[in-house]
């Protein structure tokens, strides 16, 4: 089982272009044109004669934040596996992004700093470095590029309007309805496959129930996360760091609380910097509060940037109540002609940066499913089984850490105590041993399945280095 999950995950996260892409349908309809919807449309363009994207926001928003993706103003890190998928579906994407202003930090780690409980983590040795592109930008910038490349594909069309339901034909979904922007009446768009990519507030469960089907069971973990993000003009006199993460875990003995902060150098020569807290620990929009927290709660460079660099715009806050997953794979009855992708399936604590990459890997699941030439008159359970592999990976990584939060009391996964112990050993070893750091990074960036760490060599090495003390920041 363990090996097959590693293998299946490797097949999903492959960088290779598909060898054959059979056309299986006349028309696919995708609801929501954000990361999940755009990537799903790109995959479907290989298997459908026509793909229709329905998005409620104006598609011409360029690279400005837009209302349909309110989280887009916050720091958005693209994990390596996501960058690989973008290059896979849009060859030349990285080069284009860099030409347009995306930042690529040097691969020797010299301009990055990761702090754990105030200690600085060692960089991976050069020979352990991935060749995977690291692209750093704001979310709207990245999404605008993905949208442009998607809409350049000849058989993809985008219309603007609010999707408000599905049309059913016996045991299958035969299309969707939407209210075009500026209109008052719904119109029907028929399709052989409908993809729900409307994000974490998806109404798919309601639409299913209204039509006599069962909604997918939902698991929630109440994280109560509070974000505050601000932009600063880059100033190398203050720091030449291009990226940093600072993480503290809760400690009942010292009274230390869980907090994550981070900053990235992004297009336009700006640092985008986030600070966060959980529960009642809630950064406000007040600049002084932001600066005080940067100085008080995080390593010195955070305070330096907040105090000395010029803030561009305002502090913007965001609250996320929970991590959630909809387990479609558990349903025993589901209509044919329907799938879901991205946050509409699962959304996690954003501090781990998994959301966009997960959405991209769901698109890869869709490709793998369609390349197997399934009957579209049957429920797409094989697709949801693949998506489950991706969701389990992200869920395991994010919820394992979040179960330490004092206000979180489950759900606990099977074997929690052992997995928690082993991940603690690995994490401590990664602070002083570059090899373990590199192996762990391949998992946290979703390049490899977590089970890939369960080898004798990795366990022994982690046990050896897990006892050393890291450098205080």
Ligand X SMILES: Cc1cc2nc3c(=O)[nH]c(=O)nc-3n(C[C@H](O)[C@H](O)[C@H](O)COP(=O)(O)OP(=O)(O)OC[C@H]3O[C@@H](n4cnc5c(N)ncnc54)[C@H](O)[C@@H]3O)c2cc1C
The tokens describing 34, both together, are 């954000």
Contact stretch for ligand X (CB under 6 A) within 109-117, 209-217, 350-358, 454-462? 350-358
Q: Could you give the C-alpha distances from 191 to 112, 199, 388, 430, in angstroms and in order? A: 47, 20, 25, 49
Burial 42-76 (b: 16+ CB within 10 A, else e): bbbbbbbebbbbbbbbeeebebebbebbebbbbbb
Q: How far apart are CA 93 and CA 88, in angstroms?
A: 9
Which of these segments, 89-97, 297-305, 324-332, 336-344, binds ligand X (CB under 6 A)?
A: 336-344
Annotate 69-138 with DSSP letters as a single string. Answer: -GGGGS--PPPHHHHHHHHHHSTTHHHHHHHHT-B---TTSTTEEEEETTEEPPPPPGGG-------B--
Using CB under 6 A, pick the residue from 45, 61, 63, 71 that binds ligand X: 71
Options 35, 135, 208, 393; binder of ligand X; rule CB under 6 A: 35
Q: Least separation, in Å, of the C-beta of 116 and ligand X? A: 18
Does 37 sit near ligand X (CB under 6 A)? yes
- Does 449 engage in binding with ligand X (CB under 6 A)? no
Least Å distance, CB 36 to ligand X, is: 3
List binders of ligand X among 294-333 (CB under 6 A): 318, 320
**CB of residue 464 vs ligand X: minimum separation in angstroms?**
33
227's tokens: 């974000």
Question: Tokens in use for 223?
Answer: 């994280």
CA-based radius of gyration for the chain: 22
The Cα-based distances of 362 to 339, 343, 345, 391 in angstroms read: 10, 10, 9, 9
Q: Which of 27, 56, 172, 388 binds ligand X (CB under 6 A)?
A: 56
Euclidean distance between CA atoms 45 and 51, whole angstroms? 6
Does 51 contact ligand X by CB under 6 A? Answer: no
Distance in Å, CB of 127 to ligand X, minimum: 28
Cα gap 199→203, rounded to integer Å: 9
- Of the listed pieces 25-33, 326-334, 421-429, 439-447, which binds ligand X according to CB under 6 A? 25-33
**By CB under 6 A, is residue 391 in contact with ligand X?**
no
Choose which of 227, 278, 369, 383 interacts with ligand X (CB under 6 A). Answer: 227
Q: Are strands 112-116 and 48-55 parallel, antiparallel or unpaired?
A: unpaired
The site for ligand X, by CB under 6 A, has a size of: 37
CA distance 151 to 166: 24
Q: In the complex with ligand X, which residue's Cβ is closer, 67 or 406?
A: 67
Stretch that binds ligand X, among 52-60, 112-120, 127-135, 148-156 (CB under 6 A): 52-60
Of 32, 109, 140, 175, the one binding ligand X (CB under 6 A) is: 32
Verify binding: residue 77, ligand X, rule CB under 6 A: yes
Cβ closer to ligand X: 37 or 205?
37
With respect to ligand X, which residue has the nearer C-beta, 55 or 322?
A: 55
Positions in 156-215 near ligand X (CB under 6 A): 162-163, 197-199
d(CA 429, CA 471): 13
- d(CA 355, CA 391) in angstroms, rounded, equals 10
State the minimum distance, in angstroms, from the CB of residue 199 to ligand X: 3
**Shortest distance (Å) from residue 179 CB to ligand X:** 9
Helix (H) or strand (E) holding 6: helix 2-12
With CB under 6 A as the contact rule, the residue among 6, 9, 30, 34 that binds ligand X is 34
Strands of 210-310 (E only): list them.
218-221, 225-233, 243-248, 259-266, 270-278
Question: Using an 8 Å Cβ cutoff, are 170 and 176 in contact?
Answer: no
40 contributes a contact to ligand X by CB under 6 A: no
CB of 440 to ligand X, least distance (A): 18
Residue 440 binds to ligand X (criterion: CB under 6 A): no
Interface segment toward ligand X; rule CB under 6 A; list 33-41, 92-100, 102-110, 428-436: 33-41
For ligand X, the binding residues (CB under 6 A) are 31-37, 54-57, 68-69, 71, 74-77, 162-163, 197-199, 227, 318, 320, 342-344, 347, 350, 353-357, 359
């Amino acid at each position: 089982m363990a090996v097959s999950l590693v293998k299946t995950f490797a097949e999903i996260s492959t960088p290779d272009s598909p060898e054959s892409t059979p056309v299986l349908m006349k028309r696919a309809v995708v609801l929501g044109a954000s990361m999940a919807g755009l990537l799903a449309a790109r995959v479907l363009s290989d298997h459908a004669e026509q793909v229709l994207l329905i998005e409620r926001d104006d598609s011409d928003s360029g690279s400005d934040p837009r209302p349909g993706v309110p989280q887009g103003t916050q720091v958005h890190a693209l994990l390596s596996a996501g960058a690989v998928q973008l290059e896979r579906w849009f060859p030349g994407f990285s080069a284009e992004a860099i030409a347009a202003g995306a930042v690529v930090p040097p691969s020797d780690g010299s301009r990055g700093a990761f702090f754990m409980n105030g200690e600085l983590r060692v960089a991976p040795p050069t020979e352990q470095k991935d060749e995977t592109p690291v692209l750093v930008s704001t979310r709207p910038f990245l999404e605008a590029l993905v949208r442009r490349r998607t809409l350049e594909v000849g058989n993809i069309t985008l219309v603007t309007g609010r999707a408000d339901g599905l049309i059913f034909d016996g045991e299958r979904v035969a299309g969707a309805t939407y209210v075009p922007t500026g209109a008052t009446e719904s119109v029907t768009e028929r399709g052989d496959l409908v993809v729900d990519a409307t994000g974490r507030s998806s109404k798919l469960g309601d639409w299913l129930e209204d039509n006599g089907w069962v909604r997918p069971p939902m698991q929630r973990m109440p994280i109560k996360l509070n974000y505050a993000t601000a932009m600063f003009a880059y100033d190398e006199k203050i720091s030449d760091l291009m990226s940093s993460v600072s993480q503290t875990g809760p400690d009942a003995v010292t009274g230390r609380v869980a907090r994550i902060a981070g900053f990235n150098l992004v297009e336009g020569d700006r640092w985008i910097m986030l600070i966060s807290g959980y529960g009642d620990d809630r950064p406000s929009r007040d600049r002084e509060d932001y600066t005080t927290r940067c100085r008080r709660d995080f390593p010195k460079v955070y305070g330096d940037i907040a105090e000395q660099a010029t803030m561009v715009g305002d502090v913007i806050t965001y609250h996320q109540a929970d991590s959630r997953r909809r387990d479609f794979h558990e349903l025993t009855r589901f209509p044919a002609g329907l799938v879901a992708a991205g946050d509409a399936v699962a959304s996690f604590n954003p501090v781990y940066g998994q959301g966009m990459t997960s959405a991209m890997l769901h698109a890869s699941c869709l490709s793998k499913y369609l390349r197997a030439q399934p009957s579209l008159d049957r429920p797409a359970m094989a697709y949801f089984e693949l998506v489950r592999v991706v969701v389990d990976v992200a869920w395991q990584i994010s919820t394992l850490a979040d179960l330490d939060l004092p206000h979180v009391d489950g759900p606990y996964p099977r074997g929690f105590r052992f997995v928690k112990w082993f991940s603690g050993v690995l994490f401590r070893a990664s602070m002083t041993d570059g090899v373990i750091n590199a192996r762990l990074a391949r998992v946290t960036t979703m390049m490899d399945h977590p089970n890939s760490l369960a080898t004798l060599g990795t366990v022994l090495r982690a046990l050896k280095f897990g006892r050393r003390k890291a450098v205080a920041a």
